[in-house]
């Protein structure tokens, strides 16, 4: 009887181990989505790079008066940027969008009317993105593929919807916090210059009180060590993975 129990326990153990191995092989054989870490879809926050490239991005949702100063400053420091624009903003400022594009900068979508994408279905998200893209392409005859959700609010559905439809969702790793009422020129400058490192994506906004005024000082400091490129020139297009912090890493 004793030996029968031992044999039964041993048989159960062997069965369990075989089952675990089969599961392991099954998982290993699956293709993991590019932007998925465990069960969470992760967008690109930054890029692991061996050079000195960084990306400066502006979310454009209100105002336009400061844009000439922003564009002139970027020209002065030979810096390229990516502007994530609201469709409604484009409708109100088509000439400004044309000027941004003509100066060699990149355009991404930031929704049509700043709707929270986490409350929408996949079809609703894509309808909004396409409407914003159409609005942009009617002005500059170019179609964006980069997306940043309003307020940077995303969930698995938002990221997967973008990925499945050939769009690239871009977040940020350095936030200048230039929009709150508590922002000052010095706080914006300190946050950006003290935090930025190679491969970072920096977030600023137009239409704020201090951004255009402090931008020359920011670029004067950072261009000593970094090259400012468009997001599409910072990220990898293939052979990459994304870690739990949203850092894009090129794979061999």
Q: What token pair was written down for 198?
A: 């190679």
Q: How far apart are CA 159 and CA 89, in angstroms?
A: 23
Q: Which residues are catalytic?
A: 59, 205
Q: How far apart are CA 194 and CA 233, in angstroms?
A: 23
The total of other beta-carbon atoms located within 10 Å of residue 64's CB is: 16
Query: E strand or H helix at 251, and its extent?
Result: none
Quick check: 152 and 173 in contact, CB under 8 A?
no
Dihedral of CA 143/71/96/179: which sign?
A: positive
């Amino acid at each position: 009887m004793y030996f029968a129990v031992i044999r039964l326990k041993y048989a159960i153990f062997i069965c369990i181990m075989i089952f675990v191995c089969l599961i392991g092989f099954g998982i290993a054989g699956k293709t993991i989505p590019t932007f998925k870490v465990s069960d969470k879809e992760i967008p690109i926050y930054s890029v692991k790079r061996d050079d000195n490239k960084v990306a400066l991005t502006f979310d454009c949702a209100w105002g336009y008066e400061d844009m000439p100063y922003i564009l002139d400053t970027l020209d002065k420091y030979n810096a390229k940027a990516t502007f994530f624009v609201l469709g409604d903003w484009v409708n109100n400022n088509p000439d400004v969008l044309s000027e941004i594009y003509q100066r060699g900068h990149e355009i991404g979508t930031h929704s049509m009317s700043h709707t929270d994408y986490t409350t929408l279905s996949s079809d609703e998200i894509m309808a909004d993105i396409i409407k914003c893209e159409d609005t942009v392409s009617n002005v500059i005859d170019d179609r964006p593929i980069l997306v940043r959700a309003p307020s940077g609010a995303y969930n698995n559905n938002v990221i997967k919807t973008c990925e499945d439809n050939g769009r690239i969702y871009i977040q940020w790793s350095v936030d200048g916090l230039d929009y709150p009422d508590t922002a000052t020129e010095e706080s914006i400058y300190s946050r950006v210059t003290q935090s930025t490192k190679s491969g970072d994506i920096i977030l600023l906004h137009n239409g704020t009180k201090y951004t255009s005024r402090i931008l020359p000082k920011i670029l004067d400091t950072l261009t000593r060590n970094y090259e400012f490129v468009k997001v599409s020139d910072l990220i990898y297009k293939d052979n990459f993975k994304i870690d739990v912090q949203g850092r894009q890493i090129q794979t061999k």
